[in-house]
Amino acid sequence: MVKAVVGANWGDEGKGKITDMLAREADIIIRFQGGANAGHTIVNDYGKFALHTLPSGVFYGHTTSIIGNGVALNIPILVGEIRSIVDRGVPMPKILVSDRAQVVMPYHVLFDQYEEERLGGKSFGSTKSGIAPFYSDKFAKIGFQVCELFDEEGLRGKLESVCATKNVLLEHLYHKPLLDVDELYQTMMEYKEMIAPYVCDTASFLDEALKEGKNILLEGQLGTLKDPDHGIYPMVTSSSTLAGYGAVGAGIPPYEIRQVVTVCKAYSSAVGAGAFVSEIFGEEADELRRRGGDGGEYGATTGRPRRMGWFDCVASRYGCRLQGTTDVAFTVLDVLGYLDEIPVCVGYEVDGEVTEQFPVTWKLEKAKPVLTRLPGWKCDIRGIRKYEELPENCRKYVEFVEQHIGYPITMISNGPGRDDIIYRESPLKK
Ligand code: GDP
């Protein structure tokens, strides 16, 4: 059976922690989309880790970690990440990389930087990891699958043809140094050596695993609002962030995904540009940012301060719906313990009309938050393990959010550690 762990919002909801926790009972954990542009922060017995490419299950001895075909694979980053965890005492994880995953080429990273430079003030706020140029090439059918590294003759010819078109842009649009085919070919041969020990027909491997009744976790990156179709286009990422895409990006039948755990944070944060209706600013935002997450809300990949806001019921209901949520994991609730009153966004006002429906992007840009305020609980809730033991106002906050989003909150995370979790019976759970 397959479970997916995905985000309802803009990313950074705490998916890494929830995956790491659920991985205890999993045999296989798969990354199915995205690349090294976002990170997961995981705190466990080995220490604190920021992972960008490795699935969150790599800290367990009993799991196999898979980089699925849907991932943008940056080979030196993956190999460096494996080395960095092993150097810190984590046993060598079992890792398989799909032979159909495509390779982030050195020029994808360069084109990402050059394009952001060219756009100047109108840039997307990209992490410059090459993700948008990578997926553009994948769908323009000029990308390189991992398996192609092993077809040396074919590889050389294709590199020549791709470099010819890239060099036109480099020379005339970006005015930057041109690509050299020989040099690139050498780099690909180095990539081949690095990745060879991990390459596998992962879809066949998963087919067997499903027949044997193994427990499989799909680990999403970012969240619904960054999905290229259903998110705040064009301020989105370049691959689908939805659980449904897990079937494609891992190569498994869609009907095998039985449980969709959608992670929602108890307040909002976002990185990069784009509409963010419940955003807050100034001292109010600084305080939440300082207290947020585990040591502040700063990007795991870039260290950039995240944009902060109150919990957004409109965006989260929409985010949960598009994921096909069966369970909501409500995270980072402990952080809100300092507030006397907690504002929550329950509607959007667009052109003088209030709506609870998440609008298309150009209308979203005009939306103003309709806020309501709930009483705070003014204490530290870390360490509590039973729902009934949470302060009454804290339970009221959870129940208010659950009612407004309309999906069952069955897990509440009240700290960054694996055991900081409260399981809850939800009245919405059928
Ligand atoms: P992801 O990309 O969705 O995995 O999220 P991030 O790793 O960017 O953000 C989650 C951050 O919050 C990490 O630093 C986690 O250690 C931390 N975190 C996760 N759950 C909780 C929680 O319940 N409480 C607190 N205080 N921190 C948490």
Q: Whose CA is nearest to atom 11 of ligand 1?
A: 293
- Provide the pLDDT confidence category of residue 393 given band limits of 50, 70 and 90: very high
Residue 414, marked binder: yes
Q: Are 352 and 366 in contact (CB under 8 A)?
A: no
Q: How many helices (H) and strands (E) does the chain have?
A: 12, 21
pLDDT at residue 120, as a whole number: 86
Judged by average pLDDT, the poorest of 56-60, 198-202, 265-269 is 56-60
Asked if residue 300 has its Cβ within 6 Å of ligand 1, the reply is: yes
Percent of the chain with pLDDT over 90: 85
Span 105-110, mean pLDDT? 97
Q: State which ligand 1 atom lies nearest to the alpha carbon of 331.
A: 23
Q: In this model, does residue 301 exceed pLDDT 70?
A: no
Burial class (CB in 10 A: 0-12, 13-18, 19+), 323: buried
pLDDT at residue 123, as a whole number: 77
Q: Is 323 helix (H, G, I), strand (E, B) or coil?
A: helix
pLDDT at residue 125, as a whole number: 73
Asked if residue 41 has its Cβ within 6 Å of ligand 1, the reply is: yes
Asked if residue 23 has its Cβ within 6 Å of ligand 1, the reply is: no
Q: Which residues are catalytic?
A: 12, 40
Angle (deg, nearest 10), helices 313-323 and 392-405: 60
| 293 CA from centroid of ligand 1 (Å) | 5
Residue 249, marked binder: no
14 conformational bin, left if phi > 0, alpha if psi -120 to 50, beta if neither: left
Q: Is 354 helix (H, G, I), strand (E, B) or coil?
A: strand
Chain mean pLDDT for the chain: 94
Span 379-399, mean pLDDT? 98
Q: Are 395 and 387 in contact (CB under 8 A)?
A: yes
Alpha-carbon distance of 52 to 42, in angstroms, equals 11
Q: Are 249 and 32 in contact (CB under 8 A)?
A: yes
Alpha-carbon distance of 310 to 246, in angstroms, equals 29
pLDDT at residue 254, as a whole number: 97
Q: What is the pLDDT of residues 360-382, one digit of tens each?
A: 999 999 999 999 999 999 999 99
Asked if residue 319 has its Cβ within 6 Å of ligand 1, the reply is: no
Q: Whose CA is nearest to atom 13 of ligand 1?
A: 41
Asked if residue 14 has its Cβ within 6 Å of ligand 1, the reply is: yes
Span 311-326, mean pLDDT? 98
Tokens matching residue 89: 């005492």
Span 349-360, mean pLDDT? 96
Alpha-carbon distance of 44 to 326, in angstroms, equals 27
Q: Whose CA is nearest to atom 20 of ligand 1?
A: 416
Residue 40, marked binder: yes
Q: State which ligand 1 atom lies nearest to the alpha carbon of 221.
A: 2
Q: Are 358 and 345 in contact (CB under 8 A)?
A: no
Residue 16, marked binder: yes
Higher pLDDT among residues 124 and 103, named by residue: 103
Tokens matching residue 84: 């960095």
Question: Which segments of 250-367 are extended strands (E)?
Answer: 257-265, 268-270, 279-280, 307-309, 311-312, 327-331, 341-350, 353-355
Asked if residue 265 has its Cβ within 6 Å of ligand 1, the reply is: no
Span 120-143, mean pLDDT? 89
Higher pLDDT among residues 44 and 290, named by residue: 290
Span 136-157, mean pLDDT? 96
pLDDT at residue 38, as a whole number: 73
Convert 243-269 to b/e letters by CB count within 10 Å (16 or more is b). bbbbbbbbbbeeeebebbbbbbbbbbb
Ligand 1, residues 5, 41, 290: which to mutate, most atoms within 8 A of Cβ? 41
C-alpha distances in Å from residue 206, one per residue of 55, 117, 262:
16, 42, 23
- Provide the pLDDT confidence category of residue 300 given band limits of 50, 70 and 90: low
CA 60 to chain centre: 20
pLDDT at residue 62, as a whole number: 92
pLDDT at residue 295, as a whole number: 83
How many C-beta atoms surround the C-beta of residue 271 within 10 A? 24
pLDDT at residue 298, as a whole number: 87
Tokens matching residue 320: 């949960």
Q: State which ligand 1 atom lies nearest to the alpha carbon of 295.
A: 14
Q: In this model, does residue 416 exceed pLDDT 70?
A: yes
DSSP string of 204-217, one letter each residue = HHHHHHHHTT--EE
**Could you identify the residue written with the tokens 């009245």?**
427
Closest of 212, 203, 216 to residue 243, by C-alpha: 216
Tokens matching residue 337: 């313990």
